[in-house]
């Protein structure tokens, strides 16, 4: 009986420990920043199937640019200078990621970019 309780407890602890990193923001990313960047990337890659090699390249590009993003507080609208910096970093990242895609994937990417910009206040 004690053995089964110990095994059950160990399994629960292992499960809890394995899900904790997925819930915390990325190192240096600041609260909310990694969640915003992830939602943004999912929208841009909608209807695009990547190869493993493409995914690895894109992950590398995203990691490099993540360090350049300014921090902001979730629930608080970033000031205009922060928004300008974020757009600049994302545009550079987007251009580099687009270069990893095939011609057909680039057409879908461009459509997704246009849709995202149309939804943004100011439509830029």
CA 36 to each of CA 4, 43, 59, 70, 124: distance values in angstroms, whole numbers, following the listed order: 42, 11, 16, 13, 18
- Report the 10 Å Cβ neighbour count for 88: 11
Average pLDDT taken over every residue of the chain: 78
CB 25 within 8 A of CB 35: yes
pLDDT surpassing 50 at residue 92: yes
Q: Predicted confidence band at 97 (pLDDT cuts at 50, 70, 90)?
A: very high
Residue 6: pLDDT above 80?
Answer: no
Segment 12-22 mean pLDDT: 40
How far, in Å, CA of 72 to CA of 112, rounded? 25
Mean pLDDT over 86-104 rounds to 95
Q: What is the pTM of this model?
A: 0.67
Q: Where are the domains of the chain?
A: 2-119
Residue 10 has pLDDT above 70, yes or no: no
Sign of CA dihedral 54, 111, 48, 89: positive
């Amino acid at each position: 009986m004690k053995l089964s309780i110990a095994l059950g407890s160990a399994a629960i602890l292992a499960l809890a420990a394995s899900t904790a990193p997925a819930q915390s923001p990325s190192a240096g990313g600041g609260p909310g920043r990694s969640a915003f960047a992830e939602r943004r990337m999912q929208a841009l890659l909608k209807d695009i199937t990547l190869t493993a090699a493409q995914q690895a390249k894109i992950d590398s590009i995203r990691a490099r640019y993540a360090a350049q993003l300014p921090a902001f507080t979730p629930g608080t609208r970033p000031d205009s200078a922060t928004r300008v910096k974020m757009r600049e970093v994302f545009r550079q990242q987007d251009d580099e990621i687009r270069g990893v895609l095939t011609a057909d994937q680039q057409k879908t990417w461009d459509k997704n970019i246009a849709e995202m910009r149309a939804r943004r206040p100011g439509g830029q």
